[in-house]
Amino acid sequence: MTDLSESERAGTAATVDARGRVAELLAIREEALRGPSEKATEAQHAKGKLTARERIDLLLDEGSFREVGELRRHRATGFGLETKRPYTDGVVTGWGTVDGRRVFVYAHDFRIFGGALGEAHAAKIHKIMDMAIAAGAPLISLNDGAGARIQEGVTALAGYGGIFQRNTRASGMIPQISVMLGPCAGGAAYSPALTDFVFMVRDTAQMFITGPDVVQAVTGAEVSHNELGGADVHAGTSGVAHFAYDDEESCIEEVRYLLSLLPSNNRENPPSVATEDPADRRCESLVDLVPADANRPYDMRAVIEEIVDEGEFLEVHERWAMNIICALARLDGQVVGIIANQPQAMAGVLDISASEKAARFVQMCDAFNIPLVTLLDVPGFLPGVDQEHGGIIRHGAKLLYAYCNATVPRISVILRKAYGGAYIVMDSQTIGADLTFAWPTNEIAVMGAEGAANVIFRRQINAAEDPEAMRARLVKEYRTELMHPYYAAERGLVDDVIEPAETRQVLISSLAMLRTKHADLPVRKHGNPPQ
């Protein structure tokens, strides 16, 4: 056997050592991917919850995930932490694609420290948020964590500050989507509240600032976790959650669908798709869907379904403030945001909740270059002591401000009644709508004919031998003089009166014309919107 030279022996030793290091790396990666233990995984599944990596696999295109910080571990000591230093530190971060488009994601791993946030955990989230902002790509958080890691004290709390600051910096620049898949308590709940959309899963996800134990200690009221901050509470009562689903699979699938309707950032337009739904399709059924009688209710969703491509739309905040509809849909393949009064709920009036819901939706659409289509059938603002004392003036002003500040293409269609200040607020021509159309059934006025006649002709009615007959005659006279379908068009407040069946083709051709619209806002640091 020939003896090896010194240099050859050194090279052989290096080769063996390198292979050993690679084997060591693969073992460490396997440990990080496997998680803390099979028992912990079984416990997660027993609660009806998926693991962080299973959730990421559902969200992203197969094989597209690239992890960042997989080998990160905390450096805290005390309270036994020095003996528990799992890889990832309880959060999986990275990027991948959804339908071929890049997104960034972080997912809490409840199996590790209950998904609680510590210094290293927060640093990983900060990095992936910074990367998403720099790359101009959506950020999705899959939340399943127990709040700040108590053992790390104020260092853990400081981590939330960094997240909130980045949420705010990213606002209006990239879409931010929070998916609530487990508990989210205390200050941790403010990060989802700062994002554009919040999804929740029933039974397993909760959000609250103070938990049931604190509520009982302070107020004496007994309440369960779900009763206090479950998906149905936040989707239907508080308005914190935009969407609620029964299971994680359907929830994450809807996140993917929402992403298909949003641009990657504020410098791009939403993705367009080819459609087989003809742009010139007439909507003959609209004539029968909307009753001419202004007091008869109908479902505005049926109108939207008839107008948009393939009858498909995604309603935002479907179960909160149901007297107004906010939805994302497509017209001739192009994404639009639709705001519509819902006569089936509270006659479609505007109240505090409806104003807030619509204002936030208008702002989101404007931030991400989504044209606005407003369908009006509004009798006014909801009267009442509770509404006035609750601040309907400032809350209604939020919607007014949002519309006035929006620079995307804006088209409004008045289907039936449009009364008072609510007509002005719902993107009337006088606050900047690019085009305003009306159906022949429209009634645009300060108030309904009955109310107007009672105010204007009170003395004549009271002095008449037959007050009811006099009232009926004067109501008819007022309606004929000031509320006929062409009154606003004659004065230039409506650009055209159209057949209901033409609505789809008129909207599509108008939006095509407005696609190159450019509007500059005043030079300023920012406005001071109503609060």
Catalytically active residues are 186-187, 421-422
CB 442 within 8 A of CB 414: yes
What does the alpha-carbon distance between residue 306 and residue 300 come to, in Å, rounded to a whole number? 10
* Strands 313-316 vs 324-331: parallel, antiparallel or unpaired: antiparallel
Residue 484, CA distances (Å) to 247, 403, 422, 445 in order: 51, 27, 19, 10
CB–CB of 152/116 below 8 Å?
no
Please report which helix (H) or strand (E) contains residue 478, including its range: helix 467-482
CA 390 from chain centre, in angstroms, equals: 24
CB contact at 8 A, 181 and 149: no
Residues 6+ apart with CB under 8 A from 177: 138, 139, 140, 141, 195, 196, 197, 198, 199, 255, 258, 259
Q: Which residues pair with 373 in a beta bridge?
A: 338, 411
C-alpha span between 502 and 513 (Å, rounded): 17
Cα 47 to chain centroid distance, Å, stands at: 27
Structural contact between residues 104 and 135, judged by C-beta atoms closer than 8 angstroms: yes
In the structure encoding, which two tokens stand for residue 506, read together? Answer: 């008129």
Cβ-based neighbours of 13, under 8 Å, separated by 6 or more: none
Element (H, E) at 244: strand 243-245
SS3 59: helix
Mark out the alpha helices in 234-323 (DSSP H runs): 248-259, 286-289, 300-307
Q: How far does Cα 19 stand from its chain's mean position?
A: 50
- Which residues fall within 8 angstroms of residue 427, CB to CB, at 6 or more apart? 339, 372, 374, 403, 410, 412, 433
Q: What angle do CA 195, 137, 407 make, to 5 degrees?
A: 70
- Tell me the Cα Rg of the chain: 29
Residue 166 burial (CB count, 10 A)? 21
- In angstroms, the Cα distances linking 166 to 89, 130, 131, 173, 176 are 21, 7, 11, 11, 11
